[in-house]
Amino acid sequence: MKLIKRYSISGSRCLSNFLWAILLLFGSSGFLLTGFLCYFNNSTFGTNIQFFPQGLIMIFYGFLGFFLSLYLGLTIFWGLGSGFNEFNKRDAYIRIFRWGFPGKNRRMDFYYAWEDILGLRIGNLNSQYVLFLQVRGKKEIPLTQIEDLQTFEEIEKQASLLAKFLQVSLNIRIS
């Protein structure tokens, strides 16, 4: 019988974030190029765009998109939100580990005693199904990624296996 279960969480390192970062980078580069070309009075793609106000707005949106893609790229590089959930029957603890923004509090490492676990709950968060861990004296802790699009049946199967392993109750509250 397996005494330790560990589920990894990918966090911000998912395919959609990679695609959005690349799309934003190329789109913002196009806006910046068009804005700067119209500043230097070059005919851009066969159209004549005035620098004020159209070119200036394009430069603004270009910088905005560039910095947004830079932020998204850094969150992917740092692996924000990635980590794991570890359920250890042998040593009687539950560990939830996540990576945060760089700094002195980058590592978020939470330990909970086995006897403090009240149960599991499936609920809605942003119209998606999420599995929560109920801990005595604490707020409910989400165990699944919000970005993961799981059907109710998938999350229910995962929750029932985990509840059986933890030997706790499973509540389903869908609003």
Domain ranges within the chain, ordered by starting residue:
15-78, 82-173
pLDDT on residue 43: 62
Q: Helix, strand, or coil here: 84? A: strand
144 burial level (CB within 10 Å; 0-12, 13-18, 19+):
buried
pLDDT in tens, 64-86: 999 999 999 999 999 999 999 99
Mean pLDDT of all residues in 79-98? 95
**Which pTM was predicted?**
0.82
How far, in Å, are 44, 106, 109, 121, 141 from residue 174 at the CA level? Answer: 53, 33, 29, 10, 17
Mean pLDDT to the nearest integer, 80-94 = 95
* Assigned fold of 82-173: PH-domain like (2.30.29)
